[in-house]
């Protein structure tokens, strides 16, 4: 199994991905065990199973922006001698620490007082009639002034802490409530692999599935590449257990990491969401075109739907559709909304599959 060079340029990355895609296409793969979409070839049967009458699925970029404190990462001070122990303090480091502390406190207060909500963004089928495949729910918190704070502004601080598990619980709870109230709606929700085994999160999901065994067929859980690679064996077991309940799983930020591809035989995701850095402006970027074609080839070899995120222009959408992407998500089709968009969509006669 070839590996990717982390420092490759987009052009080299495209070449390496094409090589890996060719390797996968010429290699027999094991079929998934259990009631999982990945066991069915891409086409109308799969789409009917998860998204309705047309084949398609979803996308999100909010959860994975790395935290970059301001200032240089080099050691302060004139001495070239390596020092053991605590690094000298600096105004920039202190500012970053204060910002992180205030962010943690804001999120903790929002969780404690149930000041959280979801914002919903439509995910559109790539082929005619281009109905709405489902909606993605993005977690939001309210700050002390009542302002809505998106996940990109706090998730990088809380994801590895227990408060991050509680945020996942709130997202799941809001999503399950929406699914129960609106049986015609399908939702995708983001989760961290770190929430697997977290008692309250799994209790929420198990209780809802017992109350309504069909609910899982309208639920998609998204796990980003970096999170999945933190514990691939744990993720694999979790996917197998939950797919038996009809829940579909999407690999978020597909292409952002270079290690996940080697685990595809183990991690039987139902959909792959192509990272937005390769999608934005793709109609005029040949390097990204090669990368995306390779990613599509790999995903299809493993019977996964492909979803392009951050689709913002008609030219990009046309390129993606012509190259076989199944679903499109981005501001071209609508941004996240705290209002329930499906009620307005149904008033306007839009098809919600």
Task: Look up the CATH number of the domain holding residue 240.
Answer: 3.20.20.450
pLDDT at 213 over 70: yes
Instruction: Tell me whether the omega of the peptide bond preceding residue 129 falls within 30 degrees of 0, making it cis.
Output: yes
Number of domain units in the chain: 1
Q: What is the pTM of this model?
A: 0.76
Distance of CA 149 to the CA centre of its chain: 19
Decide if 82 is inside a domain. Answer: no
Least confident of 121-130, 239-248, 275-284: 121-130
Position 213 in a domain? yes
Spatial contact of 250 and 239, defined as CB atoms under 8 Å apart: no
- Percent of the chain residues past pLDDT 70, beyond the cut: 72
Residue 262 pLDDT grade (very low, low, confident, very high; cuts 50, 70, 90) = confident
Domain containing 259 equals 10-63+99-347
How confident is the model at residue 316, as a pLDDT? 98
pLDDT at 250 over 60: yes
- Domain contains 94: no
pLDDT at residue 41, rounded to an integer? 33
More confident residue, 289 or 65: 289
Q: Which of 265, 223, 216, 262 is nearest to 241 (CA)?
A: 216
Examine residue 311 and state whether it is found in any structural domain, yes or no: yes
CA gap 306, 325 in Å, rounded = 5
Within a domain: 242? yes
Identify any residues that bridge with 271 across adjacent strands, giving them in sequence order: 250, 305
Indicate whether 181 belongs to any domain. Answer: yes
**Which of the two residues, 165 and 37, has the higher pLDDT score?**
165
Residue 334 has pLDDT above 90, yes or no: yes
Q: Which of 11, 6, 3 is nearest to 291 (CA)?
A: 11
Q: How far, in Å, are 253, 302, 328 from residue 279 at the CA level?
A: 11, 21, 10
Q: What was the pLDDT predicted at 261? A: 80
Strand partners for 40: none
Kind and range of the H or E element at 298? helix 286-301
Residue 264: predicted pLDDT: 83
Average pLDDT over residues 193-207: 97
Tens of pLDDT, residue by residue over 30-85, are 444 333 333 333 333 333 333 343 333 333 444 333 333 334 444 444 444 444 55
Distances (CA, A) of 320 to 23, 175, 311: 23, 29, 9
Kindly give, in sequence order, each residue whose CB lies less than 8 Å from that of residue 320, ignoring residues fewer than 6 positions away. Answer: 126, 279, 282, 292, 308, 311, 328
- Token digits of residue 251: 């690999």
| Sign (positive or negative) of CA dihedral 9, 11, 16, 20 | positive
- Which of 126-130, 221-225, 245-249, 297-301 is the least confident region? 126-130
Q: Quick one: pLDDT at residue 19? A: 59
Q: Residue 320: its pLDDT value, please? A: 98
110 burial level (CB within 10 Å; 0-12, 13-18, 19+): buried
pLDDT in tens, 74-123: 444 444 444 455 556 688 888 889 999 999 999 999 999 999 999 999 99
Per 3-state DSSP, what percentage of the chain is helix, strand, and coil (rounded to 5)? 45, 15, 40
| CA pair distance 158, 122, nearest whole angstrom | 26
Q: Does the structure show a pLDDT above 60 at 220?
A: yes
Angle between helix 162-181 and helix 199-211 axes, rounded to 10 deg: 10
Q: Is residue 83 part of a domain?
A: no
């Amino acid at each position: 199994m070839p590996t990717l060079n982390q420092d490759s340029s987009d052009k080299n990355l495209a070449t390496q991905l094409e090589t890996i895609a060719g390797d996968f296409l010429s290699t027999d793969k094991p079929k998934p065990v259990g009631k999982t979409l990945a066991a069915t070839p891409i086409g109308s049967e799969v789409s009917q199973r998860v998204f309705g009458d047309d084949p398609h699925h979803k996308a999100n970029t909010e959860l994975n922006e790395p935290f970059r404190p301001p200032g240089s990462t080099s050691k302060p001070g004139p001495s070239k001698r390596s020092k053991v122990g605590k690094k000298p303090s600096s105004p920039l480091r202190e500012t970053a620490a204060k910002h992180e502390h205030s962010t943690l406190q804001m999120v903790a207060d929002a969780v404690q007082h149930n000041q959280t909500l979801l914002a919903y963004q439509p995910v559109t089928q790539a082929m005619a009639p281009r109905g709405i495949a489902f909606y993605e729910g993005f977690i939001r918190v309210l700050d002390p002034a009542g302002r809505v704070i998106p996940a990109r502004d706090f998730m990088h601080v809380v994801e590895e802490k227990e408060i991050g598990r509680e945020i996942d619980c709130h997202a799941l709870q809001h999503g399950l409530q929406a699914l129960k109230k609106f049986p015609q709606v399908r939702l995708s929700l983001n989760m961290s692999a770190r929430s697997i085994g977290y008692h309250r999160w799994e209790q929420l999901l198990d209780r809802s599935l017992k109350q309504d065994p069909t609910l899982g067929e309208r639920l998609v859980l998204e796990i980003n590449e970096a999170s999945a690679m933190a514990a691939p064996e744990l993720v694999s077991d979790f996917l197998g257990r939950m797919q038996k309940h009809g829940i579909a799983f999407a690999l978020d930020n597909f292409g952002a990491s270079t290690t996940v591809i080697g685990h595809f035989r183990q991690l039987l995701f139902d959909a792959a969401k192509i990272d937005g850095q390769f999608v934005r402006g793709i109609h005029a970027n040949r390097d990204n075109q090669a990368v995306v074609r390779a990613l599509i080839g790999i995903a299809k070899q493993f019977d996964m739907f492909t979803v392009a995120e951050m689709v913002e222009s008609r030219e990009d959408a046309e390129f993606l559709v012509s190259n076989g992407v199944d679903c499109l998500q981005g501001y071209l089709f609508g941004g996240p909304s705290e209002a329930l968009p499906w009620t307005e969509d149904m008033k306007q006669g839009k098809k919600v599959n």
